[in-house]
Amino acid sequence: MNATSRKPVHLAVYDTLADWEPGFATAYLARGGYEIRTAGASAARPVTSIGALRVVPDLALDAVHPEDSSLLILPGADLWDTSDDLAPFARKAREFLAAGVPVAAICGATAGLAREGLLDDRDHTSAVSSYLAATGYGGGRRYVEADAVTDRGLVTAGPTEPVAFAREILRLLGVYEGEVLDAWYRLFHDSDAEAYAVLEKATAGR
């Protein structure tokens, strides 16, 4: 698929979003030719991240449709655990998965998906198993102790694993594969200097 035929990736944005969590993914998706479009509860109201970044959404969540998207990314945010304000984003994730379009959730967003019932029948991970268990969800038997997990179009990761989260997304959308993806991960996760040469050689023609 060439860059011009790729559908955008939609990044959900909301107050208290953990701005560091999707950064590796969005940066390298953009470098790989994907347009990143931000989606908020309203396109008219800016949101403020935990890091005090002010983001004006490109479009409202209601205007985001699976058929127009390659992926929905849901970052963590304090609001996932302190209110029901972000429940519409979890419902949008259900819509995406039902349509066969992938979703990637990290940190608090995994709890939102657990409350929505989306983790009951998929392998998944999060910060710790007890964090999701506190939601009362029915998927505890499917919890995996791993840095990031992909199952049937759903990527999950805990708050300390933004690089592993990005690795799963880049694999899922075919941005990097095989030894190139492995080199990318080793460079950014392990600071493996030898991986840089592999990645530089593989991406020189891009």
Co-location of 164 and 193 in the same domain: no
* pLDDT band at residue 201 using 50, 70 and 90 as cut-offs: confident
Co-location of 72 and 129 in the same domain: yes
Co-location of 77 and 40 in the same domain: yes
Domain at 166, CATH number:
3.40.50.880
Co-location of 44 and 121 in the same domain: yes
pLDDT (mean) for 182-193: 96
Domain of 43? Answer: 3-175
Co-location of 60 and 154 in the same domain: yes
Q: How many domains does the chain have?
A: 2
Co-location of 168 and 181 in the same domain: no
Co-location of 170 and 187 in the same domain: no
Co-location of 200 and 139 in the same domain: no
Task: Count each helix (H run) and each strand (E run) in the chain, helices first.
Answer: 8, 9
Co-location of 158 and 80 in the same domain: yes
Co-location of 60 and 107 in the same domain: yes
Q: What is the pLDDT of residues 1-48, one digit of tens each?
A: 445 579 999 999 999 999 999 999 999 999 999 999 999 999 999 999
Q: Alpha-carbon dihedral of residues 129, 27, 74, 188, nearest 10 degrees?
A: 0
pTM: 0.95
Residue 147 · residue 169 · CB < 8 Å: no
Rg (C-alpha) for the chain, rounded Å, is 16
Which stretch of DSSP H or E encloses residue 91? helix 87-98
Catalytic annotation, pick one of 72, 107, 163, 164: 107
Is 107 a known active-site residue? yes
Co-location of 120 and 202 in the same domain: no
Phi/psi of residue 12, each to 5°? Answer: -70, 135
The pLDDT value recorded for residue 206 is: 56
